[in-house]
Amino acid sequence: MRKKIFCFLMLVSAALIPVQAQMITEKTGKVITEVELESDLVVVGGGLSGLCAAVAAARHGVKVILVQDRPMLGGNTSSEIRMGICGSRTHHTYEAGIMEELQLKNFYYNPQQRYTMWDDVMYGTVVEEKNITLLLNTSVNDVVMEGDRIAAVKAWNINAYTKYTIKGKLFADCSGDSILRLSGAKYRMGRELPSEFNETFLSEGNDAHTMGNSILMQFHKTDVDRPFYAPKWAYHFTDEDFKELKIKSDVLKHKEIKTVSDKIDSYRIRSVVTGRDSLKLNYKIIHRIHDNNFWWCEFGGQLNTISDANEIQFELKRIAYGIWEYMKNHPDKRAKDYELDWVGSLPGKRESARYVGPYILNQTDIMSGGHFSNVIAYGGWTLDDHDYHGFHNKGLASTEYFPPIPFGIPFSCLYSVNVPNLIFAGRNISATHIGFSSTRVMATCALLGQAAGVGAYVALRENITPAEVDKKYIAEVQSILEDDDCMLPFRWRKISDLTASAKTDAKNEILKNGIDRNWINADETPQDNGVWVASNEDITYTWKKPVTISGVRLVFDSNFVYRGKRMRKLEGTMERVDMPKMMVKSFRIESCDKKGNWTTLYEDTNNILRLRKISFAPVETKGLRLVVVSSWGGEKEKAHVFGFDAL
pLDDT in tens, 425-462: 999 999 999 999 999 999 999 999 999 999 999 999 99
Comparing 107-111, 476-480, 611-615, which segment has the lowest mean pLDDT?
107-111
pLDDT value at residue 488: 98
Instruction: Give the model's confidence band at 5: pLDDT under 50 very low, under 70 low, under 90 confident, else very high.
Output: very low
Instruction: Give the model's confidence band at 272: pLDDT under 50 very low, under 70 low, under 90 confident, else very high.
Output: low
| For residue 577, pLDDT beyond 80 | no
Each residue of 544-560: pLDDT tens digit? 999 999 999 999 999 99
Instruction: Return the number of other C-beta atoms located less than 10 Å from residue 3's C-beta.
Output: 7
Average pLDDT estimate for 555-584 = 78
Q: Is the peptide bond before 194 cis (omega within 30 degrees of 0)?
A: no
Of 496, 510, 317, 377, give the one whose Cα is nearest residue 99: 377
Each residue of 62-114: pLDDT tens digit? 999 999 999 999 999 999 999 989 999 999 999 999 999 999 999 999 988 89
pLDDT value at residue 562: 79
Task: State the alpha helices, DSSP H only, in 154-207.
Answer: none
Average pLDDT over the chain, rounded to an integer: 89
Instruction: Return the number of other C-beta atoms located less than 10 Å from residue 535's C-beta.
Output: 18
Counting beta carbons within 10 angstroms of the beta carbon of residue 509, is it exposed (0 to 12), middle (13 to 18) or buried (19 or more)?
exposed
Comparing 99-103, 269-273, 335-339, 601-605, which segment has the lowest mean pLDDT?
269-273
Q: What is the DSSP letter of 259?
A: -
Domain(s) labelled CATH 2.60.120.260 in the chain stretch across 497-646
Q: Which residue has the higher pLDDT, 287 or 513?
A: 513
Of 410, 395, 367, 197, give the one whose Cα is nearest residue 265: 367
The model's pTM is: 0.93
Helix axis angle for 115-127 and 48-59, nearest 10°, is 30
Each residue of 317-355: pLDDT tens digit? 999 999 899 888 988 887 888 889 899 999 999 999 999
Query: Is the C-alpha dihedral spanning 628, 629, 632, 634 positive or negative?
Result: positive
pLDDT value at residue 256: 36
Average pLDDT estimate for 478-486 = 98
Of 85, 82, 115, give the one whose Cα is nearest residue 214: 82
Instruction: Give the model's confidence band at 45: pLDDT under 50 very low, under 70 low, under 90 confident, else very high.
Output: very high
pLDDT value at residue 176: 97
pLDDT value at residue 613: 98
Distances (CA, A) of 179 to 57, 170, 183, 359, 435: 21, 15, 9, 20, 21
Q: Which CATH architecture has domain 34-190+408-483?
A: 3-Layer(bba) Sandwich (3.50)
Domain(s) labelled CATH 3.50.50.60 in the chain stretch across 34-190+408-483
Each residue of 190-242: pLDDT tens digit? 999 999 999 999 989 999 999 999 999 988 888 888 889 999 999 999 888 87
| 3-state DSSP of 420-446 | CCEEECCCCCCECHHHHHHHCCHHHHH
Contact, 298 vs 213, CB < 8 A? yes
The CATH H-level (homologous superfamily) assignment of domain 497-646 is Galactose-binding domain-like (2.60.120.260)
Name the amino acid, one letter, at 300. Answer: G
Q: Which residue has the higher pLDDT, 285 or 208?
A: 208
Each residue of 154-199: pLDDT tens digit? 999 999 999 999 999 999 999 999 999 999 999 999 999 999 999 9
